[in-house]
Chain A
Amino acid sequence: MRSGVALKRSVLRKSGKLIPLYPTFFLVVFFLVPFTVMLAVSFFHRVEGAFFEPAFEFDNYLRFFDPFYLGILQFSILLSMAAAVLATAIAFPFTYMITRMSRKAQVVALVLLLAVLSLSEVIIGFSWSTLLSRTSGISNLFVSLGLLEKPTSYYPSLSAVLIGLVYLSVPYAVLVLYPPLSRLDPELPEAARMMGASPMRTFFTIVIPLLRRPIMSTLILVFVFTLGAYTLPQTLGKPSSWTLSVHITDQAIFQANLPFAAAMAIFLLVVTLAMIAVTSMLDKTKSEGDTK
């Protein structure tokens, strides 16, 4: 009896040690191995007209340091930043108002939002291209309202890309913002109201500062998320508003230049990580200043 219990305990203890193996397994198989392969490929030599051969050269990286690709990198980062700011600016008041509704209404709103998540990037891209087109787009509505002389096309254009990216990321932003906003003690904004702050003033002086951290996380999430989008810039944008991700896809699939595509992807990853690190460091020093 006693040894049975002891045996059970030792099995339990061993199984406790097994627990970290599960995430380790997945990280190795689905992240570390593919990433290592990509890293290796980024140093390989491309064979014109064929595929690539193993090598260790920096040509792929050096090729990137040319005004054309650096310009694209800069454009991609600025575009994603704009998308992040717009999506968060739209999602934050939206989510705040949802959390002030009744439980039932909240569930309905979140279910509708999740339904939007089920739309793929491709569907969103084609829907917006129709909506912004000359033949059947919203400009026809503006014409019938007398706002426009004749229907025009709003795509392909930079604004169309931005609209598509924001539309794609708002539901994610809401999902990130919902838990912290619903945990916000309703007495805090009420206290501000009692002290004479209008609802607007309460929102800007109390609600937003209290949720600085979740807002930062949302900005970072949308930034990273839209940086990887390539279907939307391709469907809704002119070649001049193609992002780095579009060019990576172009190199990998259409130009069959996997080493260069891999090098660009790694470079994008490093830049992204660096930007997140800087942002969170700035955020940290600011909150440390707060507690002083």
Chain B
Amino acid sequence: MEFDSVRAIDNIDLVLPQGQFVCLLGPSGCGKTTLLRMIAGLNTPTSGEIIFDGEPLTDVPSHERNFGMVFQSLALFPHLTIAENIGYPLRIRGFSKRKIAARVDELLELVHMPGVGNRQISQLSGGQRQRIAIARALAIDPKLFLLDEPLSALDAKLREAMQIELKELQRKLGVTTIVVTHDQREAMTMADHVVIMKDGQIFQQGPPLEVYKKPNTAFVADFIGSTNLMPCRILSSDTVETYGTEVKVAHLAASLKPNDQAALSVRPEDLSLIPKEDAPESMRAKITFSVDLGTHTELQLDHGGQDIMVTIPPQRQQVFAQGEIWGLQIADNACAAVSL
């Protein structure tokens, strides 16, 4: 797929598992929506093939694919009532009025909005519109359920509730689902399988926790969760050297060989603070910001010009004051060495 000779999607090879909840995750402009639209048939790939259930899909027009899709703008039809919106795909397929009405009621029940069929779209709140758009996309029991940034218009609290609801709905129906999102928390909450994209290419894919624990590149490590990237040198298949100290790592990106220059991805929870006398000179840092959130304490430190984030569990009644100098200790067998 090319836009004005810019490749939006470049040489992607992706096999998506049946019945799973897949998230296409990446920063804006990474090509994730283009990829979703190609699967939907709304964009045509300039080269390559899309195969669904063993059948080539590339030449099937979108209205013959029998997929359900929730658009970013939701695309509910303002000139139709809620029931007419949900019943639209059934009316197109020539179902009887009675059958449509029964299915619409069933779907409204499914999205926890029974009895609103006669209302207008304009009478609904953002979260309710969301549910109607989901119900409409599921009306025909689609072979594939596609969602393009479906929750981006909702406020944070409602978004979290909808993520869980969407996930439960998908589990209940068992429909293969592909969601496009730029929100890594959303992907972690919902997905069985995440596909991390950047610049039209796939950087890494797998179960969310695996990608979180075993990132292969600095981009993936930083994009999924927050992390501190420290320059390091590979010593062996499980040891790296950073700032003059040796650290045992839990994961080493496959492409890295001994003596390679790489980055050590240290999650804020894998760092702890020790009295500065116990740490070598190169591992001392000054606290620049500290906030106690109750569940944990978040610290920001200046480590030779680099900002370092540290999360401290609440069990210690220790006060970390701004301006103090502490030693940084990296937990062994927790971090990942990633390629730059």
Contacts and interface: CB of A to CB of B under 8 A. Distances in A.
B31 interface: no
B79 interface: yes
Given A196-B89, A197-B92, A290-B120, A210 B73 contact: no
Given A194-B68, A196-B92, A291 B75 contact: no
B180 to A, nearest CB: 13
A193 B122 contact: no
Given A195-B136, A197-B63, A206 B77 contact: yes
Contacts of A271: none
B77 A194 contact: no
Given A196-B93, A196-B140, A210-B77, A190 B71 contact: yes
Nearest to A206: B77
A124 B43 CA distance: 42
Q: Is the interface of A mostly helix, strand, loop or mixed?
A: helix
A191 B150 CA distance: 13
Interface residues of A, number: 22
Contact of B122 (A198, A202, A291): A291
A197 B42 CA distance: 13
B204 interface: no
Q: How large is the interface on B (under 10, 10 to 19, 20 to 34, 35 or more residues)?
A: 20 to 34
B23 interface: no
Interface in B64-80: 64-69, 71-73, 75, 77-79
B261 to A, nearest CB: 45
A191 B75 contact: yes
B66 A196 contact: yes
Contacts of B77: 188, 191-192, 206, 210
A126 to B, nearest CB: 44
A209 interface: yes
A187 B42 CA distance: 10
B195 to A, nearest CB: 21
Contacts of A291: 120, 122
Contact of B63 (A187, A188, A196, A212): A196
Nearest to B133: A191
Interface string B69-99: 1011101011100000000110011000000
B40 A194 contact: yes
B40 A201 contact: no
B69 A194 contact: yes
B91 to A, nearest CB: 8
Nearest to A191: B75
Interface in B104-160: 120, 122, 136-137, 139-140, 146
Contacts of B93: 196
Contacts of A149: none
Given A190-B75, A194-B62, A201 B92 contact: yes
Contacts of B68: 194-195
Contacts of B40: 194
B86 to A, nearest CB: 10
Nearest to B118: A292
B73 A187 contact: yes
A187 B72 contact: yes
B100 to A, nearest CB: 13
A66 interface: no
A198 B63 contact: yes
Given A185-B73, A187-B71, A198-B63, A193 B42 contact: yes
A290 B120 CA distance: 8
A41 B92 CA distance: 60
A202 B62 CA distance: 12
A32 B73 CA distance: 47
Interface in A165-197: 185, 187-188, 190-197
A132 to B, nearest CB: 41
A191 B69 contact: yes
Given A194-B69, A196-B63, A198-B63, A187 B75 contact: yes
Contacts of A210: 77-79
Given A185-B75, A190-B71, A206-B77, A195 B89 contact: yes
Contacts of A201: 92
A292 to B, nearest CB: 8
B241 to A, nearest CB: 52
A188 B69 CA distance: 12
Given A190-B42, A209-B79, A210-B78, A195 B122 contact: no
Contacts of A209: 79
A212 B146 CA distance: 30
A106 to B, nearest CB: 15
A154 to B, nearest CB: 41
7 contacts: A190-B42, A190-B75, A194-B67, A194-B146, A195-B140, A210-B79, A290-B120
Given A190-B62, A195-B92, 16 more contacts: A187-B71, A187-B72, A193-B41, A193-B62, A193-B63, A194-B65, A194-B67, A195-B63, A195-B68, A195-B140, A196-B64, A196-B93, A197-B88, A198-B63, A199-B63, A201-B92
Report, nearest first, the 5 A-B pairs whose CB atoms are least far apart: A191-B75, A195-B89, A187-B75, A194-B69, A187-B71
